[in-house]
Each structure stands twice: as C-alpha cells, then as structure tokens.
A and B are shown apart, each in its own frame.
Chain A
Amino acid sequence: MTTEIKPLRIFSGTKALMMLFVLLPFFAFAEGGEKKFVAGDMIVEHVSDSHSWHIAGNVSVSLPILVYSPVSGFSAFSSSRLENGAVYNGYKLEGEHLAAVNPDGSVNKADTARLWDISLTKDAATILLAGIALILIFTAASKGYNKRKNDAPKGIQSMMEPLILFIRDDVAIPSIGKEKYEKYMPYLLTLFFFILFLNFIGLIPFFPGGANVTGNIGITMSLACFTFIITLISSTKSYWAHTVWMPGVPALVKILILTPIELLGVVLRPFTLLIRIFANILAGHIVALSFFSLIFIFGSLWGKVTGYSVSVFSVAFAAGMLLLDVLVALIQAYVFTLLSAIYFGMVITREDTHH
C-alpha cells in the first residue's frame, strides 16, 4: 500500500489570512513611528469627534469651523488654521474644543461659554454623508417601485424591501396597532435606516468611515429627543389620565408612589434609549481598538518581536469583534426603532384598554 502524497498548497485561504494578520502590524509600526504610545489617549482620540478627518499616515482633511459668537458674529474658516494651538480670528482649539481667546492669547472663558459652535466636524460630516446616502438609495429604490408596478423587486429595491417590510410588519404594526401605524412609518423608517447607516459607516475602518457617530451622546440624544417629542405630541388624554391619576388605586398610593414613578418613567424611557445605543456602539469601538492597542503595549514592553506575535491574535480578535459589531449595529438600530414604536403605541392607548 502506498500513501498518496498530496501537493503542498502554500497559499490557502486561511494561510493568506494569517499572512495578512502578521504583515498588518508592520505597517502599523511604520506609521506609529517612535512616539510614546498611550492606549487610553489613542482610543479616546479615535472615538471622539474631531475637527480634522484622518485618512492615512500624515494625510488628513481639515474640516471647516463654523461658529457664532454674540461678541464677534458668525465666522467660518478651515480648521487647518488652528493646527498646533494656533490662534485665528480670535479662536483657538483647546484639545478638540473651540475656545474664544483674548487679544493676548489667553482663553476668554466667559465668551467661550457663549459660543454657538456648529463646526462641520468629523461626526457632522459623517451624518451629512449618511443623509445623502439615505436620500440617494431610497429615492433609487422608490423609482424601482414606480418602474416595476406589482412586479418583483430588483437591485437596491430588493435589498431594502425586506428591511422596510420588517419595520412595517414586525415593528410598527405589532407595537402601534393596525389602525394608526401608518402615520408613524416615515419616522420609524428614517430612524431605523439613519441609525443603521451611521452604525455601519462607523464600522468601516478607513476613510470616509470610522467615525464613532452613534456612539456619541449628542447624536443619540437628538434621536431620543425626536422620539420623546413625537411621543408627547401623540399622547392622548386617556394616557395622561392613567399616568398621573391611575383609576382604581388609593389616592395616597397614587400621590406617594405611582404618579412619581410614572412621571419619572415618561422621562426615563427616552433617556434609556439614548444611553443604550450610545453605550453599545461606543463599547464596540473601544473593545476593537483595545485589541489593536495590545500590539503596541506588548511591543513597547518587550520589544517589537513580541508585538508582532501578539498582533496575530489581536487582529484575529479585533476581526471577530468587528463581526460582532455588525450584529450590534443591526440590533441597536432595531431596538431603538422598536422601542420608539412601543412608546408611540403606549401613548395612543386605544379605548379598549380600560380596566
């Protein structure tokens, strides 16, 4: 009996991937240079908003600064003028914060507090990008429906249709009810896809992605505010009657326990919305970045060789984390939309829910 000798395959898929994991950190080290590496700073810098958009190496785009000051009026200029702590037009950057400065170069705290800074930062630019993408994609899909009336969907249309149907049949109708869901559909769809797009753009590791937008509390706060405002507008008298003065409960219990809890709940619900998505997305970014940081931590502790060897595991773990983040991106967009729909459903209490 002769054993068959299989030809040696050098470039199998797995091996190619392993090679990539081994080679990637070389570039990272080359880029990192000899600067002292502090993991916390690096991570915070990556997940924070910024006035310039880093592309690769030393290349970055300077984004415009737009600011209104009650003292000197509206001004707009490129953030490149404020690089390395330079003062321009009476402004300078304190970290990533715009500050008004006195003629002698010191920060004027009173004026800084009154600034209306609407600079087009990295996150703001990503939001605009997502907005444009949303408009382009869904008008294209809408055209598909016009072109193929009563026919099977095609292309971008068939990609978005399951999601639209999912929001309609599994989110809006069960939460709001068949009679009134239609009014809320445009909001729920915009909300879901906006969050989804921002989440996904945030996961793309290179320009023009990577901005931690939905992991920024300002963003989630404005989204939660929309839901809160719509909830307040659509709330009915019967809902407030049940919230403030629940029938069939002793007055003392109402005043001491039930009413405070219910009123707190009204405010807490949108608050949990904004915290949940913020924390999830931010954590995803931080964990993925932490795995990469390990390379440099080990590298600076025990030399480059250790860094290279650790890199294989770091990149593998970070890749796994990214896959998990794709899931989180979907789930968080879904949860935000679902909870918004449920809150709408709660406040438009139908007549038959009396007890």
Chain B
Amino acid sequence: MDLILPSFGLIFWMTLTFVIVFVLLRKMAWKPILKALSDRENYIKDALNSAEKAKEEMAQLQAGNEKILLEARNERDKLLKEARETKDTIIAEAKSKAQKEAEKIVQSARETLQNEKNAALNELKSQVAALSVEIAEKIIKSELASDEKQKALVNSLLKEVTLN
C-alpha cells in the first residue's frame, strides 16, 4: 500500500524544490538561454539574408558589367565598321578624283601635243617651202648656168607651149 499512497513529506520537498529550481532557473538560465537562442537564430537568419542579398547584388553587378562590356564591344565594332566605310569612301573618292585628274592631265597633254605638232608641222612646212625654194633656186641656178642650157630650156618650154 505504501507504493500508491503519496506521503506528505515528499510532496512538500518536491513542491518546494521544484518551485525554487523553477524560480532560479527561469531567471538565471531559461530566459537568458532562450533569448540567446532566438538572438542567434535571428543573427544567422540576418547573416544568411545579407549573404543572399550580396550574392544578388554581385550577380547584378556582373550582369551590368557584361552589359557594359557587350555595349563597348558593339561600339567598337560600329566604330571599326564606320572607319572602314570612311576609309573605303575616301579611297574611292581619291581614286575617282585621281582618275579625273589624270584624264584632265592626259587631255591637256594631248591638246598641248596637238598644238606642238601643228606648230611643228607649220614650221616644217615653211622650212620645207623655204628649203624647196632654196633648192629650186640652186637647181635653177645650176641649170641655167650656161647659155645653151638657157636656150634648151626655152626651147623645151616653147615646145610645150602649143600655140593654138
């Protein structure tokens, strides 16, 4: 029967000890421990959150960097393309200009040449005429050096002249 009959002494000691332990531990252990635990949990949560945020920012930064890089690359390509085009047009222009210039030069050279030729021809003609006259003079002089010859000539000329 002792086993199932509660004794007053034990109830007294249990209650007393429990209340004392409860009051002491609540103040000295449970409240500080529970607070420390929740503080630490919050701290870890915050740390994780900020790490996540930093990661996101990092990713964003990286994406931004990539965008800037891509833009720079595009810009470079555009500039190169433009430069090439400019170069091509400049070359083409220069070419056509040179062509024209050359043609012009050739044209004027041709004209000059023609003029020179004409002048030369004219001079040649006049010289040839003078020479011919001189030659003719000399020939005539030699032909008509003697009287017989002058007579023969007059005769031949007279022969030719047919009096009709």
Contacts and interface: CB of A to CB of B under 8 A. Distances in A.
B70 interface: no
B37 interface: yes
Contacts of B6: 216-218, 221
Counting contact residues on chain A (CB < 8 A from B), the size range is 35 or more
A118 interface: yes
Nearest to A128: B17
B10 interface: yes
A283 to B, nearest CB: 11
A130 B25 CA distance: 13
Chain B residues touching A, majority SS: helix
B14 interface: yes
B14 A222 contact: yes
B13 A145 contact: no
Chain A residues touching B, majority SS: helix
Contacts of B2: 44, 48, 95-96
A246 to B, nearest CB: 34
B30 to A, nearest CB: 4
B28 interface: yes
B17 A127 contact: yes
B36 A190 contact: no
B18 A222 contact: yes
Interface string B10-54: 111111011011101110111111101101100110000000000
B3 A222 contact: no
Given A48-B2, A149-B36, A222-B15, A135 B21 contact: yes
A217 B11 CA distance: 9
Contact of A134 (B21, B36, B39): B21
Interface of B: 2-15, 17-18, 20-22, 24-26, 28-34, 36-37, 39-40, 43-44
6 closest cross-chain pairs (CB), A and B: A218-B6, A145-B36, A138-B29, A218-B10, A124-B13, A186-B26
29 contacts: A44-B2, A48-B3, A117-B7, A117-B8, A118-B8, A120-B13, A123-B10, A124-B9, A127-B10, A127-B14, A128-B13, A130-B17, A134-B21, A138-B28, A138-B30, A142-B33, A145-B32, A145-B33, A145-B37, A150-B43, A164-B37, A165-B37, A168-B34, A189-B25, A216-B10, A217-B4, A218-B10, A218-B14, A223-B14
